[in-house]
Structure 1
Amino acid sequence: MTADIVLTLAIAALALLLFMLEWLPADITGMVVMVTLMLLGQVTPRKGFWASAIQPPLTVMAMFILSAGIARTGALQRLNQALIAWSGKQAQTDAALGCDPGPLSGVIKNPPSSQCCWPTVEDLCRRQGFSASRLLMPWSFITILGGMLTVVGTSTTVLASGLSGQLGYGEFDLLCCDGPGGDCLGIGLAYLIFVPAAADHKQSHTSFSQEYDLRGYVSEVVITPRSSLVGQTLRASELQRRFDLDVLELIHNESLRPALADKVLSAGDILLVRCGRGDLLKIRDSEGLEILPDVQFGQKSWQADLSSGEEGIAEVLVLANSNLIGSTLKEMRFRQRYNVTVLAIRRGEELVRDRLGKVPLRFGDLLLVQGPKQSFVGLQTSRDLLVLEQRDLETLRSQKAPIAILIGLGVVVLAALNQVPILVAALTGSVLMVLSGCLKPGELYQSIRWDVIFLLASLIPLGISMETSGATDWLATNLVALGQHLSPHGLLMVLFVLTTVLTGILSNTAAVILLLPVGVQIAETLDLNPFTVMAVITFAASNSFMTPIGYQTNTMVYGAGGYRFLDFVRVGGPLCLVMALVIPSLAGWLYGL
C-alpha cells in the first residue's frame, strides 16, 4: 500500500465520517472533500474538471429544467386528475399509483414529479377514506423504482453512465436499464399492494387540532379592564416579541376578525393565541389577562374558527431545494414574508410547538400554517414550499402543455435512437422549453437543485483520485480475495448489499463513485461482464427503502405520513432483501456474466 493510497483512503474515510455526522449539508461536505483532494495534490483542477467529469452534472441540470417545464404547464396535473377518476377500490388505487409516478419518474426528475403527484395522493386518501400513511410510503417507493426505467430517471444513473464512459466502457444507452427496471417496478408494486405500508398513524378523519395535539397550545384569553393592553395596538404592545406567542384571531364585539397589528385593543376583546401553558401563565400575570376555561374552549372547534370566512389552515412542506433550509422562522421573518402564522412543525416522529421562531428548518419539515386564504395562493407559487392541496390549474400555463410534452418526448426519442448524446438532447430540450414559453428564464435557474449539482461535481474528483492513486485496485484485490470462494452470482449479491449499506450511510452518488470503479476492476480480474457489475451497483445505489433519509421522497413523506423511523425498516427492509435476491439474477440473465 503506497502513501497515495493511504492518503486517498483517509480522505474517503473523512468523507464517510462527515456524511454520517451530518455536521454540514451533503453538498458542502462534497466540496470539502474536493478542496482537500486538490490542496493535497491528489487531483489537479484540470483533471478534476475535464470534459467527461462535468457531463453528469450538466445532464442532471438539463433534466431538472425539462421536468420543471413539463410540470409548470400542468400536464402532470391533468394526468393526475384522470388517475383520480379511474381509481376505485384500494388495490386498484395502488395499481393506479404504479401507472402514474412509476413511469413518470423514468423521464421526469423526482422533485417536480413528486410535487405534482403529491396532491393526487392526498386527494385519493380523502376520497377513499383511509389514512395518508396507506399511500405515501408506497408512492415514494414506486417513485424510486420508476427512476430506474431510463438512464435519465435519477442522478445516480446519470452519474454511473458518466463514470462508465471515463472507465472506457462507453456511456449507457437511454433504455439500457428498462429490462430489469421494469421487472423491479412490477415486483415492487406487487409487494406494496399485498404488504401494508404502515400502521394508520395519520388517520384521514383526524382534524389538525388532534393530529398536531394543539389543545394545550391554542387558547383564548380575555383582555380585562385592568389589563395594560387596553388602548394599545398589538404592534405597540410588542406582545409577540416579548413572549413565545402568536395572536391568530381577535374577537371584538362577538365579531371574528384577523389579528390586525394596528387594531386598538379594548376591554372584553378575546384573543385566540398560540402559546405554551408556561408563557400563557406569565402573560396572564404580567398583562392582566384572563384565560378562558378549557370547558368553553372545548365546546367549539378552533379549527372551524380559524378556517371560517377568509381565513384558512394548511400543511406546507419544506422542499429539498428550499432557500429556507437552515434558517429560523424569526431570521427569515416568515410571518411578514408569507402573511401566515406557523402553529406547529412536524419533523418525522417529532412534533415541535414551543419556541418555533428559533427552530432551524430542515428539508421534509411539515409546517401547519394559518392565515388569509389569499396568502395560500402565494405559497402555492413558492419554489421553497409546497402546499399540500391540489394546485389550481388556472395558475399554470396549461395552453403550453402539448408543447412541453412534445419537447419531452422529442428528447427521449432522440436519446433512445442514439442520434445525439443524452446531454445534447437534454440541453436542446431545456433551451426549447424557454424559447417556447413553457418556462420563464428566471424559472430556469430556480428549477435546478443546485445542491445535487454541487454534490455530483464535487465528489467526481474523489473517484478520479481513487483510480489514479491505485486505491481502487487495492480495494478490488482485497474484495476478490475475500470472495474468491463465491460464485459470480454470490459476488454480485455481496456488491449489491455493500452498495446498499454505503448508500444508507453516505449517499447514493457517493456510493456509486466509490464502488463502481472497484466493481469494474473486480469484473476485469475475474473475467466477468463489467456492465453487469455496474448495473448491479447502480440499481443498489438507487433503491433506498430502509430509512427516511436515504432518498428525498422518503424524507418528504416521513413527516406528512406520520411515519416512525422503524416503519421504513419494517416495510423497506424486506423490499431491499427482495431486490438483493432479484436484481443480481436479472442482471446476470439479461446482460450475461
Structure 2
Amino acid sequence: MQSDQLIVFAVLAATLGLFVWNRWRYDIVALGALLVVTLAGIVPAEKAFMGLGHPAVITVAAVLVLSRGLLNSGVVDSLARHLTKVGDRPWVQVLTLTGIVALCSGFMNNVGALALFMPVAVWMSRQSGRSPSYLLMPLAFGSLLGGTLTLIGTPPNIIIAGYRREVGDAPFRMFDFLPVGLAITAAGLLLIVLLWRLIPRREDRGGDQELFEISAYMTELTIPDGSKYAGRTLRDLIVAGSDEADVMVIALVRAGRYQAMPSTYEVLHDRDVLLVEADSDSLKKFLDVTHLQLAAEADSKAEAREKAEQDKQAAKNGGQNETDDSESGSDRHRDRALAEAIVTPGSSLIGTTATGLSLRERHGVNVLAVARQGQRLRERLGKIRFAAGDILLLQAREDQLQSTLNNLGCLPLASRGLRITAPRQVMLASSIFAAALVLIALGVVPPVISLVGAALAMILVGLVPSGDIYKSIDMSIIVLIAAMLPIGEALETTGGSRLIAHALLEIGQAAPPAATVAILMAGVMLLSNVVNNAAAAVLAAPVAISLSRGMEASADPLLMAVAIGASCAFLTPIGHQSNTLVMAPGGYRFGDYWRLGLPLSVLVVLVAVPVILWVWPL
C-alpha cells in the first residue's frame, strides 16, 4: 500500500507540475495521469473511465448547454442592454457591471457570463473616457464570486455536492451554497467598489480618445504592383508614414526568403511583404498614407479575381450558371467586415496556426494581424501558433462574422451591437430554466435529471440548434473532471488523503477547529490559482473527508470550505479562465492580479469561515 501511495503522490506531483507549466492542455495531462495509475494497477481498468458517467460530469455538460440556450434566447442580452444607462461614475459602473455578472454566474457558466458582458464593459469605458482595465478585472472576479451562489454556478460546487454522498448524506442541494456564497459575494463586491483604484489602469500615453489600447499588432503588409514605393528604400517608406503613425518594421519577406530587421536602405520591390508591428490606430493611418495593402486581404482579393476570371472563361464554354457564380465570386470581398476578437481559453485555435487550420478556405476568415500581451511576435502570420488571450484582427463576411467567431471560440471586443431579441424566446428560455430550478429546490427530481431535462427542452424548442449542442460543451472540462475523479478516489483508497489530513490535524492541534477550516480553504485557494478549479476540488475533497473523520466532526463545513477555496482564484491570470480572458484586453501583467486579488482572497476566508461554521457546524 505504501508503494501505491508513493506512485499516487508522484503522479499528482507531476500532474500539478504540468498544470503549472501549461505547455500541454490540462485535459490531456489529466488523461495521461489516469492512464499511469491504471497501468500501475491502482485504479482497476474496468473503473478507469467510469468518471464519464459520474453525475457531476453530466451535470456540468447540461449546465453548459443551458448557458448556450440562455445566451441564444437573449435573456442576458436584455440585461446587458440596460447597463448602458447606469452613468459615468466609476464606482457605479464597477458595482453594477460586477453585480450583474456575479448574479448571472450563479445560474450559468461564469466564463459565458463574463464573455457576454465584456463588450459592454469596453463600450462603457470608451463612452466615459477611461481605460477598460478598471472594469475588466472586477468583472472577472465578480464572475468567480457569483459562481459560489448555487449548485450549478461552478464545477467545484457540483463536484463537492457529489462527494457528500460518500459520508452517507444526500448531495448538497441547489441553494445549499447560497448562504456562504451570498455572504462572500456581497462582501467581495463591496471591497472591489472600495478598492477599485488598486486596479492598474493602462492609459493611452498620447491622450487619444480611443483609450482601449491593446498590445501592438504584428501584421503583414504587401507592396502592391505599381506602388510608388517600389524602387525606393525602406527608409523612404518609414519616413512617409512616421508623421502619422508609429510603425516598426520587423522583417522583410521577398520571394519566400525571410530577412529579419532589414536595413533602412533596402530597396523595395513589387510584392515584397513587410512584417510590421503597430497598434490598430497607427496601422490604419500608415495604410491610409502609404496605400500599402494588408497581405491577407491582398491575397484574398487576388484569389477572388483569379476565381472570377476562371468562372468567366468557364461561362464562355459552358453556360449561364457559371456566369452567376463568377459574379458572386467577384463580389465576395465587398461585404467583408473587420473585427477585433480575443481567443478564449476554450478556442479551437489554441496551439494551431491559420495555415494549419486553413481558416480562409474552411471558415471564410482572414487573419490580418495578431497581438499578444507582453510578447513580440516575429513569425509570419500563417506560422504563429495562437494562444489563449491573443487578440486577432479578423476579416470575414459581415453576415457570417458572429457565427464564425462563435465556431472558432473567439469573443468580439468592439461593441457588437446587442442583437434584438424576441420577447417570446426570452420568456420561453426563462420559463424552462425557472421550472428546472423549482424542481431542484423542491427536491422533486435530482439536479442532474432536472438540468438534463431542461437542456433537452431548450434543444427541442430550438433555443439551442442541433449543430450547437456539442459546441456548447467544453469537452476539455468534461475530460478533466472524468479523468481526475478516479485519481481522487485512488488518493483515498491508498490512504494518501488520510496522510495529508493527518498532517493538517497536527498543524491545527494547537488551534481551534475554525483555524483548521481556514487553513484547508486557504490551501485549496492557493492550489486553484495554479491549477484548474475542478481539479483542485477533486483532489481536495477526499482530504476534507479524511480530515473530518480524524476530527470526528461533520464533513459538511470542510467540504464547503473546499468548494469556496477552489472557486476563488484571484491571484493569477492562469487560475481561472475568466482571469485569462481579461488579461490582454485589459492590458494586465501577470503580477497585476494580486494587488486586488490578495485582499479579496483574505476577505473571502475571513467572511466564509464564520458563515460556514454557523450554517454547517462541525
Q: TM-score w.r.t. structure 1 length?
A: 0.83
1:449-487 Cα distance to aligned partner (Å, 9 max, x none):
000000000000011111111112222122212321121
Deviation at 1:361, TM superposition (A): 1.1
Report what 1:169 is aligned to.
169
1:317 aligns with 2:342: yes
1:276 aligns with 2:250: yes
Please give the alpha-carbon distance, in whole angstroms, between the structure 2 residues aligned to 1:88 and 1:431: 42
1:449 aligns with 2:474: yes
Q: For the Cα contact (< 8 Å) 1:69–1:404, is it kept in 2?
A: yes
Deviation at 1:350, TM superposition (A): 2.7
- Look up the equivalent residue of 1:542 and give its one-letter code: S
Deviation at 1:198, TM superposition (A): 2.2
1:88-124 Cα distance to aligned partner (Å, 9 max, x none):
4222212211331111101111233222222221222
Report what 2:532 is aligned to.
507
Report what 1:379 is aligned to.
404
Q: Say if 1:70 and 1:225 are closer, same or farther in 2 by CA, change over 3 A.
A: closer
1:569-590 Cα distance to aligned partner (Å, 9 max, x none):
2121221122122221221122
Report what 2:543 is aligned to.
518
Q: For the Cα contact (< 8 Å) 1:338–1:378, is it kept in 2?
A: no
1:569 aligns with 2:598: no
Q: For the Cα contact (< 8 Å) 1:512–1:541, is it kept in 2?
A: yes
Q: Secondary structure at the match of 1:386?
A: strand
Q: For the Cα contact (< 8 Å) 2:440–2:450, is it kept in 1?
A: yes
Deviation at 1:77, TM superposition (A): 0.8
Deviation at 1:333, TM superposition (A): 2.7
Mapping 1:324-363, distance limit 5 Å: 324-352=349-377, 354-363=379-388
Report what 2:322 is aligned to.
none
Deviation at 1:13, TM superposition (A): 1.8
Please give the alpha-carbon distance, in whole angstroms, between the structure 2 residues aligned to 1:188 and 1:333: 45
Give the length in aligned residue pairs.
545
Q: For the Cα contact (< 8 Å) 1:313–1:371, is it kept in 2?
A: yes
Q: For the Cα contact (< 8 Å) 2:561–2:612, is it kept in 1?
A: yes
Q: For the Cα contact (< 8 Å) 2:223–2:230, is it kept in 1?
A: no
Q: Secondary structure at the match of 2:340?
A: strand
Report what 2:311 is aligned to.
none
Q: For the Cα contact (< 8 Å) 2:529–2:569, is it kept in 1?
A: yes
Report what 2:285 is aligned to.
301
Please give the alpha-carbon distance, in whole angstroms, between the structure 2 residues aligned to 1:299 and 1:516: 52
Q: Say if 1:215 and 1:42 are closer, same or farther in 2 by CA, change over 3 A.
A: closer
Please give the alpha-carbon distance, in whole angstroms, between the structure 1 residues aligned to 2:154 and 2:91: 27
Q: For the Cα contact (< 8 Å) 2:133–2:587, is it kept in 1?
A: yes
1:133 aligns with 2:163: no
Deviation at 1:186, TM superposition (A): 1.0
Q: Secondary structure at the match of 1:276?
A: strand
- Look up the equivalent residue of 2:269 and give its one-letter code: E
- Look up the equivalent residue of 2:426 and give its one-letter code: A
- Look up the equivalent residue of 1:287 and give its one-letter code: H
- Look up the equivalent residue of 1:116 and give its one-letter code: L
Deviation at 1:502, TM superposition (A): 1.6
Mapping 1:422-441, distance limit 5 Å: 422-441=447-466
Q: For the Cα contact (< 8 Å) 1:519–1:533, is it kept in 2?
A: yes
1:479 aligns with 2:479: no
Please give the alpha-carbon distance, in whole angstroms, between the structure 1 residues aligned to 2:383 and 2:172: 47
Report what 1:104 is aligned to.
104
Report what 2:612 is aligned to.
587
1:65 aligns with 2:47: no
Q: For the Cα contact (< 8 Å) 1:98–1:189, is it kept in 2?
A: yes
Report what 1:494 is aligned to.
519
Q: Say if 1:485 and 1:5 are closer, same or farther in 2 by CA, change over 3 A.
A: same
| Worse-matched range after superposition: 478-487 or 336-345 | 336-345
Q: Secondary structure at the match of 2:354?
A: coil
Report what 2:226 is aligned to.
223
Deviation at 1:354, TM superposition (A): 4.4
- Look up the equivalent residue of 2:454 and give its one-letter code: G
Q: For the Cα contact (< 8 Å) 1:167–1:517, is it kept in 2?
A: no
Structure 1's unaligned 5+ residue stretches are 229-272
- Look up the equivalent residue of 1:301 and give its one-letter code: K
- Look up the equivalent residue of 2:401 and give its one-letter code: F
| Worse-matched range after superposition: 362-371 or 375-384 | 375-384
Q: Say if 1:275 and 1:397 are closer, same or farther in 2 by CA, change over 3 A.
A: farther
Report what 2:157 is aligned to.
157
Please give the alpha-carbon distance, in whole angstroms, between the structure 2 residues aligned to 1:384 and 1:279: 31
- Look up the equivalent residue of 2:409 and give its one-letter code: D
Q: Secondary structure at the match of 1:193?
A: helix
Q: Secondary structure at the match of 1:368?
A: strand
Structure 2's unaligned 5+ residue stretches are 232-246, 255-261, 275-280, 295-333
Mapping 1:138-287, distance limit 5 Å: 138-195=138-195, 196-201=197-202, 203=204, 205=208, 207=210, 211-213=214-216, 223=226, 276-279=250-253, 281=262, 285=267, 287=269
Please give the alpha-carbon distance, in whole angstroms, between the structure 2 residues aligned to 1:186 and 1:275: 50
Q: Secondary structure at the match of 1:342?
A: strand
Q: Say if 1:330 and 1:543 are closer, same or farther in 2 by CA, change over 3 A.
A: same
Q: For the Cα contact (< 8 Å) 1:67–1:109, is it kept in 2?
A: yes
- Look up the equivalent residue of 2:567 and give its one-letter code: S
Aligned residues: CA RMSD: 3.4
Deviation at 1:352, TM superposition (A): 3.1
Please give the alpha-carbon distance, in whole angstroms, between the structure 1 residues aligned to 2:478 and 2:444: 26
Please give the alpha-carbon distance, in whole angstroms, between the structure 1 residues aligned to 2:371 and 2:46: 45
Please give the alpha-carbon distance, in whole angstroms, between the structure 2 residues aligned to 1:537 and 1:386: 31
- Look up the equivalent residue of 1:148 and give its one-letter code: T
- Look up the equivalent residue of 2:129 and give its one-letter code: G
Q: For the Cα contact (< 8 Å) 1:208–1:303, is it kept in 2?
A: no
| Worse-matched range after superposition: 122-131 or 533-542 | 122-131
Q: Say if 1:6 and 1:346 are closer, same or farther in 2 by CA, change over 3 A.
A: same
Q: Secondary structure at the match of 1:327?
A: coil
Report what 1:404 is aligned to.
429
Q: For the Cα contact (< 8 Å) 1:326–1:360, is it kept in 2?
A: yes
Q: Secondary structure at the match of 2:445?
A: coil
Q: For the Cα contact (< 8 Å) 1:102–1:142, is it kept in 2?
A: yes
Q: For the Cα contact (< 8 Å) 2:213–2:587, is it kept in 1?
A: no
Q: TM-score w.r.t. structure 2 length?
A: 0.80
- Look up the equivalent residue of 1:558 and give its one-letter code: M
Q: Say if 1:559 and 1:95 are closer, same or farther in 2 by CA, change over 3 A.
A: same
Please give the alpha-carbon distance, in whole angstroms, between the structure 2 residues aligned to 1:91 and 1:503: 29
- Look up the equivalent residue of 2:582 and give its one-letter code: V
Q: For the Cα contact (< 8 Å) 2:126–2:212, is it kept in 1?
A: no
Q: Say if 1:466 and 1:207 are closer, same or farther in 2 by CA, change over 3 A.
A: same
- Look up the equivalent residue of 1:576 and give its one-letter code: S
| Worse-matched range after superposition: 512-521 or 414-423 | 512-521
Q: Say if 1:227 and 1:399 are closer, same or farther in 2 by CA, change over 3 A.
A: same
Q: For the Cα contact (< 8 Å) 2:337–2:398, is it kept in 1?
A: yes
1:41-90 Cα distance to aligned partner (Å, 9 max, x none):
11114444558961111000000001101101122111100122244422
